[in-house]
Structure 1
Amino acid sequence: MIVVALLATLGLATVGAMPAGAAPSAQAAAPPVTTAVPSVPITGTFTDAAGGAGTFVGSFTPSRFAAPNGNLVATGTLTGALTDSAGGAVGTVTQTVSAPVGVAQATCRVLDLTLGPLHLDLLGLVVDLNQVHLTINAVPGPGNLLGNLLCAITHLLDGNPSAGALAAILNALLALLGQL
């Protein structure tokens, strides 16, 4: 689903392109320079030379994905700046790093049922019921046995890709983003 949304976004990004025969405006501003591959903000703390808590603020830009031993891993460039506890700049970092990738799933939609207004006449007992909207979501996680079971059942036929297949799809998306 993430892949479909990203491909749809990429398709929509190309719709706004200027037709080949159209002449650009003489006063058109140059588009801002941006990278096609999105970066992820990274923050953290460290113990500086004075024993205080220094901070790291930067970003991670993925360049490729791999699946060693069936575990999805992102490799990319980490850039950022280190600041000590007194607020002084310690230095900057630009380094290639690898990090594990997790696929998060918050809930699984089990049932979404909407019943219109109902009128029941049961041998003189009249029951009028307005619209009813019933939504049942399963929440997977440690200790949520029923949520884990229902999510597994609802996604039984989804054909979840292996870590290697997912890495190949993500690398193809990175290549497409790199061409923008």
Structure 2
Amino acid sequence: MQEAAKIDGESGARRTNLRAARGRLALYHVLLLGGVFLFWYAMTEPGLIPPFYFDDPTRAKFFFGQPLEVLKRIWIWFSGGTIYLHLGVTLIETLLAFAIGTMLGLVLGLWLALSPTASTLADPYIKAMNAMPRVILAPIFAVWFGLGITSKVVFGITLVFFIVFFNVYQGVKEVSPVVLANAR
């Protein structure tokens, strides 16, 4: 009986310590964010610090914006409701890219993992396309598909496809033959 109470007391103390650690971590997150905003404000406010890279002190405002003005603009967008249409379009683009990229990665990953001939033929091309930085594809897709939803969805597909493809491909390839025999 005393042993159970002792264990309960230890786990309660551990929970209290964990809760205090989480509280401190949340405080550190808020302080770090405040420090970033304070640094941003100090670097863009003319006269607070000597200009490092700009001969005209107002140029820093132009290049980096002012945090208070940025926050005001964000408040206007949300309170006026003008941003919700844009957020909806971005959500649609993201969901389409995720769904299509996941399906393509799943289908091609399964097909190539189960077909040694196709895997051998396609392997160098898929690895070469995966090695290419995705950032260079964005302007190419903008030229090919325009600035509408299509170019953004195709770009998103390239981001999702390779992650899903390689996970499915490796997962199927590494299934133990013993497990497959037992499943049959």
Question: What range describes the TM-score normalised by the shorter chain of this pair?
Answer: under 0.3
Scaled by the length of structure 2, the TM-score of the pair is: 0.25
The structure where helix makes up a greater share of residues is 2
The structure where strand makes up a greater share of residues is 1
Q: Which has the higher contact order (CA 8 A, sep 6+)?
A: 2
Scaled by the length of structure 1, the TM-score of the pair is: 0.26
